[in-house]
Structure 1
Amino acid sequence: MSDVAYDPWSPDFVADPYPAFERLRAERPVYFDEPTGQWVVSRHADVDALLRDRRLGRTYLHVAGHEKFGREPEPEFLRPFWDLNRAGMLELEPPTHTRLRRLVAKAFTARMVEGLRPMVRALAEDLAGALAAKGGGDLIAEVAEPLPVTVIAEMLGVPAEDRPLLRPWSAGICGMFELNPSMEAQRTAVRAATEFSDYLRALARARAAEPRDDLISALAQVVDEGDRLTEDELIGTCVLLLNAGHEATVNATGNGWWALFRNPGELERLRADHALVPTAVEELLRYDTPSPMFERWILEDVSVSGVDIPRGAEVALQFASANRDASVFAEPDRLDLGRDPNPHISFGLGIHFCLGAPLARVELAESYGALLRLAPALRLAEEPAWKPGFVLRGLEALHVEC
C-alpha cells in the first residue's frame, strides 16, 4: 500500500483522513490493521451491507462470554461504566434491543421532536445573537455546545441549576469510546458514570412520584402490553440520549462551519439562499462526518468483498470514508450544499440507526439558520486545531469574528 497510512492516533490523520481513505478504498478496502486489532472496512457498499447484517453486533455478550471471543475479562473497576452503558439500547442486540427501542420510541416520537422546534429556534437565536453582539468568540463553546445540552436538559426535565453538570459527565463517559483509552480516561469515565447514574436515579424517582411534562416522566410511564422500562433502562436511555445527541451534534456544528469557511463559494451560496439549509445540513454531515467510525463484532463468519473475516473479530466501519466514496457520490471531495440525492450514512443504518436523527437535524438546521440571520458576516478568526480523538472527531475550538 502507499505511504498514506491509516492511523487513528495520528494528529495528521485526524486532521485530514480523506487521502488515506481514498487509497484504502482503491487498494485495500477490507484489511486487518495490526495496531488497532480491527478489520478496517472503507467502501460505502460494504459499510452499508455490514450495518444491516445481523451476523454482526454492537456486542457479543448475548451469544458468548469474553473468553469464547478471545477477549480479556473487563476489569472490575470498570463495572459502573459498563453497567450504565449496557442499560441503554446502543450496546444491546435483539431481542432486548428490540424491546427497549420499542418502548423508548413510544415516548421519543417524531411529533414530540418537531414540537421542540420553536424552543430550539429561540435558544439558537439567543446564542447566535449573543455571539454577534460581542463581535465573535469561540463558536464551539458559545453556540455549538450549549445548544444541544440545553435542549436535552429541557427534554429530560433537568433543573436549570444542575445543567452545568451534564457536559463534563458526557465528555467523561464518551472518552471511553476512543480506541485504547488511557487509564486516566477510564477512571474519569467510571467516575462520570457513577455520578450521572446517581443523579438520574434520584431524578427518575422524583418524577415517578410526581410526573411532569418531560421525557423522564414520559419514559417512566411508558407501558406496552404490560411491559415497561426498568429503572436501570430508563437511566441508561437518558444517558444515551445526552451523550449520543450531544457530542455528535457539537462536532457536526464545528466541523460544518469549518468546512464552510474552507469553501467560501458554498458559504456565499448558503448566505444568498437560506432555503438551502436542510440540504446543507445533510451535505455537511457527509462532507466531514462527526462520528467517522463505528465498531461491530463478527458473530458468525462473514466474507466482505472476497475477504473472509472470522467469528470473534472486530470490524471498524469507516463512515467518513464511505461518505466520500466516488461510486456513490459524484465528486465526493467537493462540498455541494444542494447535493441531492445524498445517501450518506452519518446516522448509521439498520436496527441501530440513530433514534435521535430527527432531533439532530432540527438542532443543526436551527443553529445554522440563526447564525446566518444574526451573524451574516461570520468569518474565521484563526485556523482551528482538532481534538486528539478520532471516533468522536471534532475541533478544540472555532474562533470567529462577526
Structure 2
Amino acid sequence: MAAPTDLAFDPWDPAFVADPYPAYAELRERGRVHFFEPTNQWLVPHHADVSALLRDRRLGRTYLHRFSHEEFGRTAPPPEHEPFHTLNDHGMLDLEPPDHTRIRRLVSKAFTPRTVERLKPYVRGLAGDLVAALVEAGGGDLLRDVAEPLPVAVIAEMLGIPESDRAPLRPWSADICGMYELNPSEEAAARAVRASVEFSDYLRELIARRRKAPGDDLVSGLIAAHDEDDDRLTEQEMISTCVLLLNAGHEATVNATVNGWWALFRNPDQLAALRADPSLVPSAVEELMRYDTPLQLFERWVLDEIEIDGRVIPRGAEIAMLFGSANHDPAVFTDPARLDLTRRDNPHISFSAGVHYCIGAPLARIELAASMTALLEKAPTLRLAAEPKRKPNFVIRGLEGLAVELG
C-alpha cells in the first residue's frame, strides 16, 4: 500500500519539522497504520498501538540475533559505514535478549534508585552554578550555557571522563546521532563514521588507563565486569555501552530542556503559574516531555508477522512508532494540544517502554527538575531574547539555540 499522495507527513519539510502535530492528527484520523514509501516503513501514530508494540517481542531493535541480512531480506550496510555499525550494534539499545539482558543488568547497577538519589546534590549544585553564571552575564544561550553542559557533565562524571577530555563529547554525539535520522545523507554517514572511530579510540585509551588505575566510576565498574567469568562484557560492548550512555544520557535531556522552555515562553500563562507555584516542577517536567517530545520516532524490525487493524505486516518490514503523535493522542490525553502543567494523568511514552525503557529516565528527571528549579529561583524574570531556529532534524527534535535575557 503506497502512502496517500496528499498525506501531510513529510519529515524533510521544514514546515512539518517546525510543527508536526497537525500532520500527526491527520495520520491518526486516517487509520492505525500507514505505509510510508520514502523510508519503506510502516508509520504507527496511535498511543495504544505504540505502547503495545514497544512491549511486543515479535519486534526487535535488531534482527541479527535471529537472521542474517540475506535471510531477513535486507542489504548489509556499506563497508565504509562499518565503524558506526560496530559501535552502534554492540550497545544495549540495539541488542535483544539475551545479550541486551546481560548488559542492561550490569549497567543498571549504576542507575539504582539509591545511586541516582546520591547524585541529586551534585546535579542541583551544578545546575545552580550554570544558571548563576547565566544570570551574571545578563542572559545568553540557554542551550549552550545550561541545557548542554549539565547532562554532559553528569554522565561524564558517572563514566569517569576527566573534565579536560569532555570538549569533544557533544560534537561526537551529535555526529553519531545524525545516523538516526530518516535516510541520512552520505555526508552525515561520513561524519558519524569519523566520530565513531574517534570516540572509540578515546574510550580504548581511557579503559587502558582505568585498568592500571581503577576509580569509583562506571568505566572502572564495567572493566571489573569484563574481567569476571560470569556476565562477561567484551571490550567492544564496554565501548558501545559508554557511547550509548553518553549519547542517550544527554541528547534527550538537552532537547527536552530547550523544547520545554520554548514551550513555556509561548504559553506565558503556564510559565506564570509555574513561577507562582514551583511545586508544579515535577508535573511540568512530565508535561513538557509530552507536549514537545524530544525523540519523535522509534524504529523496530518485524521479526515475526504481525497484524495491525486488519493489515498484515510481514517479517522483514520496519515499524516507525511515532512518539510525538502518541503523546498527542486525544484518546489518552484530554485536549492534547494544550500545555497543562497541572496534568496529572500523563502516561507519555517519551522514555519508551518494555525491555528498552530508558534506563536513565530517573536521572533525566532529576536533571530536568534541577535546571528548571534553578532557573525559576535565580532567573525569575527570564524571557526570550530572539525567536529560536529549529534544527532541521525530525527524529531527534531540538533547537539550534535559545537566546534568553533577564527582564
Q: Report the TM-score range of the alignment, normalised by the length of the smaller protein.
A: over 0.9
Q: Which amino acid counterpart does residue 393 of structure 2 have in structure 1?
A: G
Shift of 1:110: 2.2
The match for 1:173 is 176
- The alignment status of 1:400 with 2:379, answered yes or no, reads no
Contact 1:144 / 1:254 at 8 angstroms: preserved in 2? yes
The match for 2:155 is 152
- The alignment status of 1:5 with 2:16, answered yes or no, reads no
The match for 2:185 is 182
The match for 1:325 is 329
The match for 1:243 is 247
- The alignment status of 1:202 with 2:226, answered yes or no, reads no
Contact 1:175 / 1:186 at 8 angstroms: preserved in 2? yes
Question: Which whole-Å deviations, capped at 9, do the CAs of 1:262-317 have from their partners, x for residues lacking one?
Answer: 11111001001111101100000000000011011101110112221111100110
Shift of 1:146: 0.9
Cα distance between partner residues in 1 of 2:118 and 2:309: 44
Shift of 1:28: 2.7
Unaligned stretches of 5+ residues in structure 1: none
Cα distance between partner residues in 2 of 1:81 and 1:111: 34
Alignment of 1:66-215 (within 5 A): 66-215=69-218
TM-score (norm: length of structure 2): 0.96
- The alignment status of 1:59 with 2:44, answered yes or no, reads no
Moved more, 233-242 or 61-70: 61-70
Shift of 1:375: 0.7
Alignment of 1:41-52 (within 5 A): 41-52=44-55
Matching residue within 13, 38, 41 for 2:41: 38
Unaligned stretches of 5+ residues in structure 2: none
Contact 1:46 / 1:305 at 8 angstroms: preserved in 2? no
Shift of 1:225: 7.4
The match for 2:314 is 310
Alignment of 1:220-299 (within 5 A): 220-222=223-225, 226-299=230-303
Question: Which whole-Å deviations, capped at 9, do the CAs of 1:93-117 have from their partners, x for residues lacking one?
Answer: 1111111111211233221111111
Contact 2:304 / 2:314 at 8 angstroms: preserved in 1? yes
Contact 1:6 / 1:20 at 8 angstroms: preserved in 2? yes
Q: Percent identity?
A: 65
Shift of 1:45: 0.5
Contact 1:293 / 1:316 at 8 angstroms: preserved in 2? yes
Contact 1:106 / 1:222 at 8 angstroms: preserved in 2? no
The match for 1:383 is 387
Shift of 1:2: 9.2
Shift of 1:332: 0.8
Question: Which whole-Å deviations, capped at 9, do the CAs of 1:99-148 have from their partners, x for residues lacking one?
Answer: 11112112332211111111111111111111111111111111111111
Shift of 1:4: 5.7
Shift of 1:333: 0.8
Contact 1:107 / 1:219 at 8 angstroms: preserved in 2? no
Cα distance between partner residues in 1 of 2:223 and 2:194: 25
In structure 2, the residue corresponding to 1:164 is in which secondary structure? coil
Question: Which whole-Å deviations, capped at 9, do the CAs of 1:13-49 have from their partners, x for residues lacking one?
Answer: 1110010001111113301011121100000000011
Moved more, 385-394 or 63-72: 63-72
Cα distance between partner residues in 2 of 1:82 and 1:2: 34
Q: Which amino acid counterpart does residue 258 of structure 2 have in structure 1?
A: G
In structure 2, the residue corresponding to 1:222 is in which secondary structure? helix
Cα distance between partner residues in 2 of 1:62 and 1:230: 17
Shift of 1:68: 2.2
Question: Which whole-Å deviations, capped at 9, do the CAs of 1:67-100 have from their partners, x for residues lacking one?
Answer: 2222222111111111111121011011111111
Aligned length in residues: 402
Shift of 1:186: 0.7
Contact 1:56 / 1:300 at 8 angstroms: preserved in 2? yes
- The alignment status of 1:15 with 2:31, answered yes or no, reads no
Question: Which whole-Å deviations, capped at 9, do the CAs of 1:161-216 have from their partners, x for residues lacking one?
Answer: 11101111111111111111111111111111111111111111221222111111
Contact 1:2 / 1:23 at 8 angstroms: preserved in 2? no
Cα distance between partner residues in 2 of 1:343 and 1:64: 34
Q: Which amino acid counterpart does residue 77 of structure 1 have in structure 2?
A: E
